[in-house]
A = this chain, B = another copy of it.
Amino acid sequence: MPELRKDPVIGRWVIISVERGKRPSDFASPSHKRRVSGFCPFCEGNEYTTPEEITAIRPDGSDPNGPGWTLRVVPNKFPALRSDGELEKTGEGIYDRMNGVGAHEVIIETPEHVSSLATMPPERAEDVLRTYHERINALRQDGRIRYVLVFKNEGEAAGASLEHTHSQLIALPIVPKIVKEELIASRQYYDMKERCIFCDIITQELEDGRRVVYENDGYLAIAPYAPRAPFETWILPKKHESSYQSGDGFSGLAEVLQRVLRQLDSLLDVPPYNFMIHTSPFTESENEYYHWHIEVMPKLTKIAGFEWGSGFYINPTPPEIAAEYMRNAEI
């Protein structure tokens, strides 16, 4: 069973995940690529190699765990957290830990090995975004879970161990540090101004225009004012919404997300990237102060000593310039 441990000084939790590799020799030198040669467990026909599916979209009404699907959700074969057992919190002298209860699921976005979220048909991208929402809502029923983080690692340098396009979710028994910080800060702003800080950001960015990457009726994509990485892009619903949802069946969101990903692919030659959905925790899913959004981070720079030691980022590309490139990208 994995274990959650808390750094006693800074309150940062880590997952000690003993089911994954652990000996020194298990860490391949970063220069060796661990590419999966040939066989792909996420391709249609290879369903027997994954754990049993949690849900799937099967337009032909086919049976679970065989071909015929357009999207599958399966448990991660090497989960960072485990779904069985009760949550147990224990101390060890001055240290705090709990057992690694939660869930770790993989959303296989398409049966085709070569497809990508950026270029698949819009309806299929909507399916992916809607599935995130359905899985979050299903996990909400589990009383042990406080937060679900949906994220995508695309490309080896961004942490993907399989090439076939997929996203992941990790359901956590605690609210993670960054989310907690965002919530506290948003609530402080709300207490002071009676307004959501993200709504204020949207207003200012739409007036200013320099950092706007794209907008449609429901959504705005911007280069944030203080981006950690070059070409970092945030997608926000224009109307206040505290938790990840969509009024239009996710079609507007899919349009913005696919467009942003295609702009990045065009400008940066199909870069590795991560995206993360930031949303309110289950205990306060409806509120006036927090505003869900997606953060897209192309993986172009390295986290080095300065960033590790300071929590500060050095970014060589001003967001105004990045946004201009994005707006003008040929897609």
Contacts and interface: CB of A to CB of B under 8 A. Distances in A.
B305 A275 contact: yes
A54 interface: no
Given A14-B315, A267-B24, A178 B310 contact: yes
Contacts of A30: 157, 272, 299-300
Nearest to A312: B176
A53 B206 CA distance: 47
A84 interface: no
A39 to B, nearest CB: 22
Nearest to A159: B304
Interface stretch (A44-52, A212-220, A317-325): A317-325
Nearest to A198: B9
Contacts of A227: 14
Contacts of A297: 308
Interface stretch (A107-115, A120-128, A147-155): A147-155
A18 B316 CA distance: 5
A268 B24 CA distance: 6
A129 to B, nearest CB: 15
Contacts of A143: none
Interface in A1-43: 3, 5-18, 20-24, 26-27, 29-31
A92 B180 CA distance: 26
Contact of A274 (B12, B305, B325): B305
Interface residues of A, number: 97
B8 A181 contact: no
Given A151-B305, A158-B304, A305-B275, A197 B9 contact: yes
Contact of A316 (B20, B95, B272): B20
A75 interface: no
Contact of A276 (B6, B272, B309): B309
B13 A312 contact: yes
A224 interface: yes
A226 B13 contact: yes
Contact of A159 (B12, B305, B312): B305
A5 B313 contact: no
A93 interface: yes
A311 interface: yes
A104 to B, nearest CB: 9
A222 interface: no
A19 to B, nearest CB: 8
A313 B94 contact: no
Interface of A: 3, 5-18, 20-24, 26-27, 29-31, 80, 92-95, 149, 151-153, 157-160, 168, 170, 172, 176-179, 181-182, 185-186, 189, 197-198, 200-201, 204, 208, 224-228, 230-231, 267-269, 271-272, 274-278, 295, 297, 299-306, 308-319, 321, 325
11 contacts: A8-B197, A11-B181, A14-B314, A16-B316, A18-B316, A30-B272, A31-B157, A168-B305, A178-B311, A179-B309, A297-B308
